[in-house]
């Protein structure tokens, strides 16, 4: 009798999980082309542009060459393991120019697999530090790099490793050597999929204050982090639930308190905050099914979408009401599997997990339907 009851409960759980997963897979979703103005690919990027970090002067850094095979080698196109990790620089002020690879410090070694990034700029000296998630062969790391504009190079300030870094996807800087890091799983390798299938809340957000690290949030399917201007709110994307969580941040101890979850209708990846308007922008995947096919064969196209959430609430709770926009969509031909976006003076850069990058001018007025 007990076994029958247990079996029944297991069946109910399996049906509930399959129902939830099938809804989120987006099997029947199509990528529709709608560009906000003239768009072009940014050369020479061909092997991914997973995340974009933007400096106040319009210089954007783009991470490229993420070796996703670390997640589950048999399900990935073997060409991905040959990707070379790079960080490109793109200048929004010279939008007709190509992106240029930035010279990396020798300490990073031959094997470099950059993922999420964020930028910290010293308000007095203007020094730019780029925080880069790097899946080192032996362990996860957040590399803190100083940008040297004259030599177009990075020097290594600090390589932060910690036992709480289980599978870091993204990072958001809150000081010259302090940050939050989001782990997108606890298990490594192919078995990590079981975390999503079973709905195990083993993802974490880790706060590193420059010396020590602690877990400040746990849950399912975490991905990317961003922070509001002034640092009061932290944003966390949860692709599987197709939502972005908004937390109030205690600036003394780094703790986070969930205040809002906004459903965006697509598998939201890296979050970008427009500090002029407070808008949340993100690269999105429409179909995890097509995304999976793209990872298995990078010649198979996966649709792209960019979303924008415009806050309409008061300053202490800006997203109590909001408007949701889709400024960009593509069937996968221009850019496949969009993961990131950055906005600068009515121009956007769009990045992808494994494919090209695109630059678009925004011809429409932001206050209109775009
Ligand atoms: Ca990401």
Alpha carbon of 168 to ligand 1 centroid (Å) = 9
The answer to the question of whether 96 is labelled as a binding residue is no
The pLDDT confidence band at residue 103, using thresholds 50, 70 and 90, is very high
- Residue 3, pLDDT score: 65
Q: Is the pLDDT of residue 265 over 80?
A: yes
Alpha carbon of 323 to ligand 1 centroid (Å) = 23
Of residues 51 and 366, more confidently modeled: 51
For the chain, the 3-state helix, strand and coil shares in percent, each to the nearest 5, are: 15, 40, 45
Alpha carbon of 169 to ligand 1 centroid (Å) = 5
**Strand, helix or coil at 226?**
strand
By the 10 Å C-beta count (0-12 exposed, 13-18 middle, 19+ buried), 327 is classed as buried
Q: Which of 3-7, 87-91, 163-167, 174-178 has the lowest mean pLDDT?
A: 3-7
Region 226-251: mean pLDDT is 95
Which residue, among 125, 104, 129, has the nearest Cα to 114 in the 3D structure?
104
Region 301-307: mean pLDDT is 95
Region 204-212: mean pLDDT is 97
Alpha carbon of 182 to ligand 1 centroid (Å) = 9
Q: Is the pLDDT of residue 195 over 90?
A: no
- Residue 23, pLDDT score: 65
Handedness of CA 313, 317, 319, 320 (dihedral sign): negative
Region 321-345: mean pLDDT is 96
C-alpha 165/C-alpha 148 separation (Å) is 28
Alpha carbon of 97 to ligand 1 centroid (Å) = 26
Percentage of the residues of the chain whose pLDDT score is greater than 90: 79
The answer to the question of whether 41 is labelled as a binding residue is no
- Residue 263, pLDDT score: 95
Region 82-97: mean pLDDT is 96
The string over 160-173, giving b where at least 16 C-beta atoms fall within 10 Å of a residue's C-beta and e elsewhere, is: bebebbbbbbbbbb
Q: Is the pLDDT of residue 316 over 70?
A: yes
- Residue 270, pLDDT score: 98
Question: Average model confidence (pLDDT) for the chain?
Answer: 92
Q: Which of 43-57, 122-136, 218-232, 353-367 has the lowest mean pLDDT?
A: 353-367
Q: Which of 12-26, 223-237, 294-308, 347-361 has the lowest mean pLDDT?
A: 12-26
The answer to the question of whether 270 is labelled as a binding residue is yes
Region 158-176: mean pLDDT is 97
The string over 98-130, giving b where at least 16 C-beta atoms fall within 10 Å of a residue's C-beta and e elsewhere, is: ebeebebeeebeeebbbbbbbbbeeeeeeebbb
Q: Which two tokens stand for residue 340?
A: 């990131």
Handedness of CA 5, 10, 14, 16 (dihedral sign): positive
Alpha carbon of 225 to ligand 1 centroid (Å) = 9
238 contacts 205 by C-beta, under 8 angstroms: no
- Residue 365, pLDDT score: 63
Region 135-157: mean pLDDT is 96
- Say how many Å lie between the first and final Cα of the chain, rounded: 59
The pLDDT confidence band at residue 135, using thresholds 50, 70 and 90, is very high
Region 261-271: mean pLDDT is 95
Q: Is the pLDDT of residue 367 over 70?
A: no
| Residues noted as catalytic | 115
The answer to the question of whether 169 is labelled as a binding residue is yes
Q: Which two tokens stand for residue 336?
A: 């496949």
Region 28-53: mean pLDDT is 93
C-alpha 350/C-alpha 244 separation (Å) is 19
Region 13-30: mean pLDDT is 69
Model confidence, pTM: 0.92
Q: Which two tokens stand for residue 239?
A: 């692709």
216 contacts 245 by C-beta, under 8 angstroms: no
Please give, one letter per residue, the 3-state secondary structure of 250-317.
CCCCCCEEEEEEEECCCEEEEEEECCCCCCEEEEEECCHHHHHHHHHCCCCCCCEEEEEEEECCCCCC
Place of tokens 């697999």: 113
Alpha carbon of 68 to ligand 1 centroid (Å) = 11
Alpha carbon of 34 to ligand 1 centroid (Å) = 23
The answer to the question of whether 118 is labelled as a binding residue is no
Q: Is the pLDDT of residue 80 over 60?
A: yes
Q: Is the pLDDT of residue 114 over 60?
A: yes
């Amino acid at each position: 009798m007990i076994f029958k009851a247990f079996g029944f409960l297991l069946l109910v759980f399996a049906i509930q999980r399959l129902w939830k997963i099938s809804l989120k897979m987006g099997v029947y979703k199509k990528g529709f082309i709608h560009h906000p103005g003239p768009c072009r690919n940014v050369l020479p990027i061909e092997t991914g542009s997973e995340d974009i970090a933007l400096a106040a002067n319009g210089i954007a850094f783009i991470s490229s060459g993420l070796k996703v095979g670390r997640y589950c080698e048999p399900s990935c196109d073997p060409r991905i393991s040959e990707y070379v990790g790079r960080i490109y620089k793109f200048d929004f002020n010279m939008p007709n120019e190509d992106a240029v690879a930035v010279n990396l410090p020798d300490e990073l070694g031959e094997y470099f697999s950059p993922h999420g990034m964020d930028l910290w700029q010293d308000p007095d000296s203007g020094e730019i530090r780029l925080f880069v998630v790097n899946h080192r062969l032996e362990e996860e790391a957040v590399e803190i790099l100083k940008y040297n504009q004259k030599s177009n190079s990075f020097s290594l300030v600090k390589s932060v490793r910690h036992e709480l870094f289980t599978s870091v996807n993204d990072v958001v800087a809150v000081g010259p050597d302090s940050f939050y890091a989001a782990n997108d799983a606890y298990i490594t390798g192919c078995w990590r999929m079981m975390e999503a299938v079973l709905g195990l809340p083993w993802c974490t957000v880790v706060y590193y204050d420059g010396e020590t690290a602690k877990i400040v949030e746990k849950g399912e399917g975490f991905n990317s982090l961003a922070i509001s201007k002034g640092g009061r709110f932290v944003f966390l994307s949860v692709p599987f639930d197709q939502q972005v969580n908004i937390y109030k941040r205690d600036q003394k101890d780094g703790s986070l308190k969930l205040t809002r979850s906004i459903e965006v209708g697509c598998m939201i990846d890296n979050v970008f905050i427009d500090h002029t308007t407070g808008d949340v922008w993100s690269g999105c995947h429409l179909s995890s099914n097509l995304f999976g096919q793209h990872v298995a064969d990078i010649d198979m196209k996966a649709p792209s979408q960019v979303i924008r959430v415009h806050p309409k609430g008061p300053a202490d709770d800006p997203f109590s009401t909001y408007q949701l926009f889709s400024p960009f969509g593509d069937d996968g031909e221009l850019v496949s599997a969009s993961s990131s976006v950055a906005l600068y003076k009515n121009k956007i850069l769009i990045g992808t997990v494994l494919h090209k990058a695109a630059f678009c001018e925004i011809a429409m007025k932001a206050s209109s339907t775009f």
